[in-house]
């Protein structure tokens, strides 16, 4: 004999009611909304890290340039006893401006990164080390902070790298 289909929530009935289905859909929607908010947050944080990475690469590039110029001065001094004139090795500080893409600018127009270069001679009366300096390169830029939607804030971020360089 075939069993008759029962309706109306009687004992032994199987399946989902409309309310159970709506509760399950609501819970699923909240979970998906949380995942999309997490994705949006991670994209904003990743965008900020691009600025930090570019600033660190810019600082490394400036330090590499300083070291290359020091080596050129050393080679020139060994070849014909003359020293190339370079204010980086005689002064104490200088600054440069760079665009958002890392290109060096001749003026402050379009400036995104500001690079400050400081030199400290490491020679002291107790320990004479002529031609050895510590160069510090500080790269500063303004970045938007990840915060609640509708309340953007800007802060100045700074990357500081240093290196000892031997020069004549």
Contact 118, 92 (CB under 8 A): yes
Closest CA to 168 of 68, 73, 66: 73
Q: What's the pLDDT at 24? A: 93
- 141: β partners: 157
159: Cβ–Cβ under 8 A, 6 or more apart, which residues? 52, 55, 56, 59, 138, 139
Tell which residue, 165, 166, 158, 167, has the closest CA to residue 59.
158
Distance CA 166, CA 133 (A): 7
Chain centroid, CA 16 distance in Å: 52
Distances (CA, A) of 45 to 50, 145, 156, 157: 9, 9, 16, 14
> What phi and psi, each to the nearest 5 degrees, are found at residue 22?
-65, -40
CB atoms within 10 A of CB 55: 25
Q: Can you give the pLDDT at residue 113?
A: 85
Question: Taking the domains of the chain in order of start, what are their residue ranges?
Answer: 18-166
The two tokens of residue 147 are 């915060």
Question: How far is the C-alpha of 119 from the C-alpha of 89, rounded, in Å?
Answer: 8
- Over residues 81-124, the pLDDT tens digits come to 665 566 777 777 778 777 777 777 776 666 688 888 888 888 76
Spans of the chain, pLDDT less than 50: 1
pTM over 0.85: no
């Amino acid at each position: 004999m075939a069993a008759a289909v029962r309706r109306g929530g009687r004992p032994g009935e199987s399946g989902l009611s409309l309310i159970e289905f709506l509760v399950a859909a609501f819970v699923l929607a909240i979970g998906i909304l949380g995942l999309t908010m997490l994705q949006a947050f991670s994209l904003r944080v990743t965008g900020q890290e691009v600025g930090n990475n570019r600033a660190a690469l810019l600082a490394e590039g400036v330090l590499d340039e300083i070291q290359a110029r020091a080596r050129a001065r050393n080679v020139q001094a060994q070849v014909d006893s003359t020293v190339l004139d370079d204010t980086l090795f005689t002064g104490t500080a200088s600054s440069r401006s760079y665009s958002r893409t890392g290109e060096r600018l001749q003026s402050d127009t379009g400036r995104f990164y500001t690079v400050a270069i400081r030199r400290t001679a490491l020679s002291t009366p107790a320990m004479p080390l002529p031609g050895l300096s510590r160069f510090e390169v500080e790269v500063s830029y303004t970045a938007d902070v990840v915060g609640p939607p509708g309340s953007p804030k800007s802060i100045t971020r700074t990357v500081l790298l240093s290196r000892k360089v031997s020069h004549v």
